[in-house]
Amino acid sequence: MVKRQDIQRVVVVGSGQMGPGIAYTLASVGCSVSIYARTPESVERGLQAYQAAVNLLVKSGCISAGAGSEAAARLSGTTELEDAVARADLVIESIAEDLKIKQELFARIEKACPSQTLLTSNTSGLPVTQLASVLRQPERFAVTHFWNPPHLMPLVEVVKGEKTAPLTIDTLVAVLQEAGKKPVVVLKDTPGQLGNRLFHALIREAIWIVQEGIAAVEDVDTAIKNGLGRRFPVYGALEHQDVAGLDTVLAIQSYMAKALCNETAAGRLLREKVAAGDLGVKSGRGFYDWSRRDIGAVIEKRDAFLVEMLKAETAAGQTRVLQSTDS
């Protein structure tokens, strides 16, 4: 099985929202990366999205122009899956979130790739062990769940399946750390992995608060952005408990646990909105009226913030981005 130093050639399968930024992450540590998609048009879209990610990093000063050119030179695109994976050290799948489709793809990849190639999926929550069940060598398989947008977000969850070898996890963590990511290892194959379990606990409570008339939608988000969100980049939830004092936390949790939303089904308000066709940005209305809001501007603001965070962390030596030979 390959170790970190053996990972030189990477194939990213899928050129949608996530594939190109994942491809950049691996190119940033010097790998040659090929994006596979089923049609030339999809390949082209992937290459363009990759270049747009590189341009953003160069324009914002996260990487030098030379580093941007090197990253661009390390990328290629293909519609030939078997050819692409035949010499790959690592294949990262990022296609539709469908167990059967992913399993079919991995069975096809395993037939064509070398026996030591590492295989990973970017699934948001499909069971790792089931994904790997179609493989002859499930020990080389894990989930690498990148957060969106993958070229700007540091978190990657590396999820272990029942048969994943420790070396597979170690190698993936090493390459991700080298790329400046902050990988976390999820030891149990459980729905929502780690990050989405935390996030959905928050979402469940946020929806409950609105549903119960405790606070308005905008105020829920204002509290998250300006309270919790301000702390979290430097100060984890459990760190905060230690600072507050666990006896105090116990006293608070003892009366609050029973007041929190404990529903085991999806929230009533959420179900009502979906039934009414209020799906969010894509239908024009969700918790907010998107006919009056500009989603492009919101995403631009988010990315500008993520870039500033990345720059600050790079300057403080807390992470690294692609180093060019000209820098």
Among residues 32, 60, 76, 124, which one is catalytic?
Answer: 124
Q: Which is nearer to ligand NAD, 97 or 308 (CB)?
A: 97
Q: How far is the CB of 100 from ligand NAD (least distance, A)?
A: 10
Q: How far is the CB of 46 from ligand NAD (least distance, A)?
A: 8
Among residues 32, 196, 205, 324, which one is catalytic?
Answer: 196
CA angle 7, 17, 133 (to 5 degrees): 55
Q: Which is nearer to ligand NAD, 75 or 209 (CB)?
A: 75
By beta-carbon distance, which residue lies closest to ligand NAD?
16
Q: Which is nearer to ligand NAD, 89 or 93 (CB)?
A: 93
Q: How far is the CB of 22 from ligand NAD (least distance, A)?
A: 9
Q: Is 124 a catalytic residue?
A: yes
Q: Which is nearer to ligand NAD, 14 or 161 (CB)?
A: 14
Q: Which is nearer to ligand NAD, 121 or 319 (CB)?
A: 121
Q: Is 196 a catalytic residue?
A: yes
Q: Is 104 a catalytic residue?
A: no
Q: How far is the CB of 50 from ligand NAD (least distance, A)?
A: 13
Q: How far is the CB of 47 from ligand NAD (least distance, A)?
A: 13
Among residues 34, 70, 145, 151, which one is catalytic?
Answer: 145
Residue 16, Cβ density class (10 Å: 0-12 exposed, 13-18 middle, ≥19 buried) = middle
Rg (CA), the chain: 21
Q: How far is the CB of 316 from ligand NAD (least distance, A)?
A: 27
Where does this chain bind ligand NAD (CB under 6 A)? 14-19, 37-38, 42, 94-97, 101, 105, 122-124, 145-146, 148
Do 203 and 189 contact (CB within 8 A), yes or no? no
Q: Which is nearer to ligand NAD, 67 or 156 (CB)?
A: 156
What are the catalytic residues?
124, 145, 157, 196
